[in-house]
Chains A and B, each alone.
Chain A
Amino acid sequence: MSIGHALLGLLEGGPRHGYDLKRAYDERFGQDRPLHYGQVYSTLSRLLKNGFVTEAGVEAGDGPERKRYAITDAGVTDVERWLSTPEKPEPYLQNTLYAKVVLALLSGRSATEVLDAQRAAHLTTMRELTRRKADGDLADQLICDFALFHLEADLRWLELTAARLDQLAAEVAR
């Protein structure tokens, strides 16, 4: 799961403070693992260095850090590339996939395309495994089947999510 891309995606909605970003992230993606402040600032400084975000002014106040960050054009391009590139199919992807879908919805991009691209990637891997299974011995078959069943679970999740996109969009927009 790329925290950087997630933060970039959140910034697409408008400039935010680091603290805001953490709160928004935790709210949407951090159910079991909230981000540390340190993670937020180290990620933001990396994004700054790469030119994906800029500082959009400092607000006067009591807090330790009142910097606002905004996404750059390069940052938008990077988010776009990230969203349209399917994840390498492997088990336990759902965090990333979920984040992608939500960010796509937040930014008004097509979440369906994200899901379809991922489905295609998954199926390609499953085809590969199915072919390997046909040529291999029993041990190969069992190992391939293990992967196939997990990938199938992912794919089922993709299907389900695709079927619930409208519901999710409504929830995200709230």
Chain B
Amino acid sequence: MSLLRAEGLTKSFGRTHALDGAGITIREGEVVAVMGPSGSGKSTLLHCLAGILPPDSGTVHYRDHSGSDRELTSMNDGERSELRRTEFGFVFQFGQLVPELTCLENVALPLRLSGMKRKDAERAAKDWMARLEVDAVADQRPGETSGGQGQRVAVARALVTGPKVIFADEPTGALDSLNGERVMHLLTTAARETGAAVVLVTHEPRVAAYSDREVVVRDGRSRDVEFAR
């Protein structure tokens, strides 16, 4: 049964057609790699899927935790924000941690935004940081950590709210192989343990190898290998 399903997505930036009828289906708890060359529209697909960017046309259906079907493109900005905050988690290539906050505060931020008390939020954050083996840098600012630590802090932040989908856009793009693999291993392991689905945008085959299946995006069209058949 599908958790997230996009159909016929189109999106243009000026004269560039980033998406030209792309579609994708994500099932609960699976790790799907979105692959494709640079400029193929894979990041735009992720942005549309996650409700960050409204597509020009097409639909995105999401089955939320209560089982009801939500159509993202018909939601307003506030509703989509809330959905992203409560149901989704995000890991980007870089620059996602708030540089002024300590790592712990960064991880606790989504919980606090949902109204959790500071103490409780930071306790939960600490647990997640331990699972991702970055509890040592809890009181440091992101600028004082290594790239791999920073990405793992970001993964902890993405997981802390217990999201049903984690969107990861080139999460290892700025890391070397070893650190990249460590981040991928911890991310996919934690996601499988919590039952979160992962949409993994990457152009690195070895990173894609952490997925259960792949979807290829080319010229704004996606080939969902499995669902195409």
Contact between chain A and chain B defined by CB under 8 Å: yes
- Looking at A2-10, A43-51, A73-81, A115-123, the stretch in contact with chain B turns out to be A115-123
- Looking at B90-98, B141-149, B210-218, the stretch in contact with chain A turns out to be B210-218
Q: Please, what's the 1-or-0 string for A91-131, where 1 marks a CB less than 8 Å from any CB in chain B?
A: 00000000000000000000010001001101100110110
Contacts of B214 in A (CB 8 A): 119-120, 123
In the complex, residue of chain B having the shortest beta-carbon distance to the beta carbon of A129: B209
> How many residues does chain A have at the interface if contact means C-beta atoms less than 8 Å apart?
20
Q: Please, what's the 1-or-0 string for A126-167, where 1 marks a CB less than 8 Å from any CB in chain B?
A: 110110001000000000000011011001100100110000
With A119-B216, A120-B225 as contacts: A155 and B205 at CB distance below 8 Å: yes
B interface, over-half SS: mixed
Contacts of B209 in A (CB 8 A): 123, 126-127, 129-130, 148
Contacts of A127 in B (CB 8 A): 209-212
B189 to chain A, nearest CB (A): 8
B39 to chain A, nearest CB (A): 10
B223 at the interface (CB under 8 A from A): yes
Contacts of A151 in B (CB 8 A): 205
B168 to chain A, nearest CB (A): 16
Contacts of A130 in B (CB 8 A): 206, 209-210
Provide the bound-state CA to CA distance between A127 and B209, in Å: 5
Contacts of A122 in B (CB 8 A): 205
B37 at the interface (CB under 8 A from A): yes
Provide the bound-state CA to CA distance between A155 and B208, in Å: 11
Q: Please, what's the 1-or-0 string for B195-229, where 1 marks a CB less than 8 Å from any CB in chain A?
A: 00000000111101111101010100001010000
In the complex, residue of chain A having the shortest beta-carbon distance to the beta carbon of B185: A134
B151 to chain A, nearest CB (A): 18
A157 to chain B, nearest CB (A): 11
Q: A163 near B225 (CB under 8 angstroms)?
A: no
Provide the bound-state CA to CA distance between A123 and B210, in Å: 9
In the complex, residue of chain B having the shortest beta-carbon distance to the beta carbon of A119: B216
Partner of B37, one of A112, A123, A163: A163
Provide the bound-state CA to CA distance between A119 and B216, in Å: 10
Q: B205 near A126 (CB under 8 angstroms)?
A: yes
Q: A123 near B216 (CB under 8 angstroms)?
A: no
Provide the bound-state CA to CA distance between A156 and B202, in Å: 13
Provide the bound-state CA to CA distance between A79 and B210, in Å: 33
Partner of B206, one of A112, A126, A162: A126
Partner of A162, one of B33, B185, B204, B218: B218
Contacts of A148 in B (CB 8 A): 206, 209
Contacts of B210 in A (CB 8 A): 127, 130
Provide the bound-state CA to CA distance between A119 and B225, in Å: 10
A49 to chain B, nearest CB (A): 35
Contacts of B212 in A (CB 8 A): 127
Contacts of A134 in B (CB 8 A): 185
In the complex, residue of chain A having the shortest beta-carbon distance to the beta carbon of B208: A123
A158 to chain B, nearest CB (A): 9
Contacts of A123 in B (CB 8 A): 33, 205, 208-209, 211, 214
Contacts of A155 in B (CB 8 A): 205
Knowing that A152-B206, A156-B205, A162-B218 touch, tell me 9 more A-B residue pairs with CB under 8 angstroms.
A119-B214, A123-B208, A123-B214, A126-B208, A127-B212, A130-B209, A151-B205, A159-B203, A163-B37
30 contacting pairs across A/B (C-beta < 8 A): A116-B216, A116-B223, A116-B225, A119-B216, A120-B225, A123-B33, A123-B208, A123-B211, A123-B214, A126-B205, A126-B206, A126-B209, A127-B209, A127-B210, A127-B212, A129-B209, A130-B206, A130-B209, A130-B210, A148-B206, A149-B206, A151-B205, A152-B205, A152-B206, A155-B205, A156-B205, A159-B37, A159-B203, A162-B37, A163-B37
Counting from the closest, the 3 A-B pairs by CB-CB distance are A126-B209, A155-B205, A130-B209
